[in-house]
Amino acid sequence: MGDENHKKINHIRRAVALHYDPDKKQAPTIAASGRGWLAERIIALAKDNRVPIVEDNALVKVLNNLTLGEEVPRELYEAVAAIYAFILEADQRNRSG
């Protein structure tokens, strides 16, 4: 039973929503962030609104420590840019296919 509880603690769902407006900010900002039920709600809202979801556990753990409205730190630009590129490519494929 102890191992089962340990697994549940280690697998708490996390979610972060990013917003990027290049006219207002230099980097994407944290639009929503949460763990557990709040993460599930963020994910559900994204799905309901057809917002692309990318899973990156290591990145979300770091981003989860930022506050709402805070810009993504410069050292994470490359990781976040890769996610945005993936989303843009998927969006282009969906529009053309």
Mind listing the pLDDT tens digit for each residue in 5-28?
A: 555 555 789 999 999 998 999 999
**pTM over the 0.75 mark:** yes
Number of domains in the chain: 1
Instruction: Grade residue 97 by pLDDT with cuts at 50, 70 and 90.
Output: low
Return the closest-CA partner of residue 15 out of 34, 36, 37, 41.
34
Q: Which amino acid is at 50?
A: R
Average pLDDT, the chain: 88
CATH number (domain holding residue 63): 3.40.1690.10
The string of pLDDT tens digits covering residues 38-51 is 999 999 999 999 88
Sequence-ordered list of residues with C-beta below 8 angstroms from that of 73, at least 6 positions apart, any chain: 66
Q: Which amino acid is at 58?
A: A
The per-residue pLDDT for 38 is: 97
**Domain range for 84:** 2-96
